[in-house]
Chains A and B, each alone.
Chain A
Amino acid sequence: MGIEFRGVTKKYPDGTVAVDDLNLTIEDGTITVFVGPSGCGKTTSLRMINRMVEPTSGTILLDGADVRDSDAALLRRGIGYVIQHAGLFPHRTVLSNVATVPLLSGWDKRKARERAAELLETVGLPAELGKRYPAQLSGGQQQRVGVARALAADSPVLLMDEPFSAVDPVVREGLQDELLRLQSQLGKTIVFVTHDIDEAVRLGDKVAVLRVGGRLAQYGTPADVLRHPVDDFVAGFVGKDRGYRGLSFLSAGDVLVEDVPTVRVGGAPGESADWRLAVNDEGEPRGWLPPSSTVDGELSESDLVAGGSLYQQGTPIRGALDAALSSPASLGVVVDADGKAIGVVTARQVLDVIENHPQGVTR
């Protein structure tokens, strides 16, 4: 279900312009991220889609129909909505929180609860949590419940207003991965608001950068925005690391993966003048054995130097470069989808691929 903004403006009575003549088409089944500094009107734009805010002028079309032609409450029941602190109802259990919209829409109780239980599983929460109250959950769990609640009506459109910005960075990354995994299964039209450009680039199929005063500065794929910012504002907003971030969109398919001498943890390593990669019985990397080290008897993990980050074959080249740079042996470990080590790359080789890429760092 596509969403289209046509000349949408929101002016408040005190004269502040929150959104200024926004024209934008959001494609069906994609994640579109509104990103920008505070005061850029990104949240207002989002909230105009489900009529939490009414535009001063202009039209918003949802699947070709003006949103103002539907009853506001009915419209909202058909659009998933997730907000910053989740906004869970503190006096209701997790399960009845998730069942809110089905019950509002007149489903029978049993069916609504079954659906809610199913959704808890979908967002990766154990079924026992259903009986708890929001106050008994961690921040990350609450946010998952918020997502489940928004999915309950099985609406094709999901609005997410800074849903992950109140949780700590590690949890946030988990939630982002979870959202991408869900989206690969569900294929919803998701509009996502954030002030964090990293989050925008990570999640968005398309990114709309807004500037203060509610004007659209640039709209395109993350790679586009990073590689070709239209002006100083966008360049400044996407930050100094944009060259490096752009590597997230470059495939590492051409990088030569070289063999590396390995030793098995638990085996007898012998001696060697080279760095050797230690693997376990499953072939998963465990660390590095430095050159000329002497080990009495069996190799144990305590003899090893901790390894760097791992690069999974088939993912963007940013990971390959990071693996090479973080490795004590200056050799980035490449693993397959099962986590088995299949070889190494050097930073030099990775940089060669980047420099020889026909379009430079673009998708």
Chain B
Amino acid sequence: MIGEIVDWFTSSANWQGADGVPTRVLQHLGYVLLALVLASVIAVPIGLYVGHTGRGGVLLVGSGNVIRALPTLGLVTFLFLLFTDSDVAAIIGLVVLAIPPILAGTYAGLQAVDRAVVDAAEGMGMRGGQRLWQIEVPIALPLVLGGVRNAVLQLVATAAVAAYVGLGGLGRYLLDGLAILDYGEVAAGAILTALLAIVLDIVLATIQRALVPRGVRLAEAGTKKEVEA
């Protein structure tokens, strides 16, 4: 087993051309980033609106739960029959599945901002937009990015599944390998997919840490200490 994996990784044929590791990794990454951008463009404004105004929160949480329960394979095959184009179907499916975590993170982030802080901002004469961008968003940032991290994990996993309807990326190794019973290729695909997910998660965790305002981090550390004490 290990031998087969080592053989696969050391074979130079697997590192070149349209089916080579660099191409497949970049493809997979491309789908994930494209879907992430599209999903964020849709989900972040809605999450900000709902979180800021408090209107439609129940609807948002409810529809988020329904989408979360959607079977990814069912969604992707359905969209493929509908659009008969694997790239379009897969990207739409990826976007649909990435929206709920981003929406939930954004909404939860704004909800978690201390009401007294928002009240003080309003009482000092900040207008709606100033309050949102200067106060609520910076404080909500950790949870918003938490939602983005969840979305990325979801996207890496779903992009692999979407190989079933003909999408490129690392899922190809998994499914093509299964089809010809080449377990070296299957295992290599699994390792690469898992590695991609882990690396992306670490990168985002680092960005998350860097973007959280220092004062918010101190406040969080403070509450944690109180809980632990």
Contacts and interface: CB of A to CB of B under 8 A. Distances in A.
Interface of A: 50, 52, 72-78, 81, 83-93, 100-101, 104, 133-136, 146, 149, 159
A133 to B, nearest CB: 4
Contacts of A92: 213, 215
Name the interface size band of chain B. 20 to 34
B116 interface: yes
Contact of B123 (A74, A76, A93, A136): A76
A76 B125 contact: yes
A77 B135 contact: no
B30 interface: no
B127 interface: yes
B222 interface: yes
Contacts of B218: 90, 133, 135-136
Interface string B124-163: 1111001000010011000000000000000000000000
11 contacts: A73-B125, A74-B125, A83-B123, A89-B215, A90-B216, A91-B139, A101-B125, A104-B124, A134-B219, A135-B218, A135-B221
Contacts of A135: 215, 218-219, 221-222
Given A83-B116, A89-B135, A50 B123 contact: yes
B117 A75 contact: no
Given A87-B117, A90-B216, A149 B124 contact: yes
B61 interface: no
| Pairs A-B, 4 closest by C-beta atoms | A87-B120, A77-B125, A76-B125, A133-B215
B147 to A, nearest CB: 19
B190 interface: no
B125 A93 contact: no
Contacts of A104: 124-126, 130
Nearest to A96: B215
B4 interface: no
A93 B215 contact: yes
B124 A100 contact: yes
B125 to A, nearest CB: 3
Nearest to B123: A81
Contacts of B228: none
Nearest to A92: B215
A52 B124 CA distance: 10
A43 to B, nearest CB: 11
Contacts of B127: 73
A277 B10 CA distance: 96
Contact of B216 (A52, A74, A91, A93): A91
Given A87-B114, A87-B123, A135-B215, 5 more contacts: A73-B126, A87-B118, A89-B135, A89-B139, A91-B139
Nearest to A75: B125
A159 B119 CA distance: 13
B120 A81 contact: yes
A101 B126 CA distance: 9
A44 B101 CA distance: 38
B7 interface: no
Interface in B172-221: 213-216, 218-219, 221
Interface string B101-127: 000000000000010111111111111
A90 B117 contact: yes
B220 to A, nearest CB: 8
Contacts of A52: 119, 122-123
A76 B222 CA distance: 31
B124 A134 contact: no
A76 B138 contact: no
B123 A91 contact: no
Contacts of A78: 125
Residue among A73, A85, A90 with max Cβ neighbours from chain B (10 Å): A90
Residue among B114, B117, B118 with max Cβ neighbours from chain A (10 Å): B117
A146 B121 CA distance: 12
Contacts of B119: 52, 83, 87
A323 to B, nearest CB: 40
Nearest to A100: B124
A90 B215 contact: yes
Interface in B71-119: 114, 116-119
A85 B122 contact: no
Contacts of A159: 123
B213 A91 contact: yes
Contacts of A73: 125-127
A86 B115 CA distance: 11
Contacts of B122: 52, 76
Contacts of A101: 124-125
Nearest to B113: A90
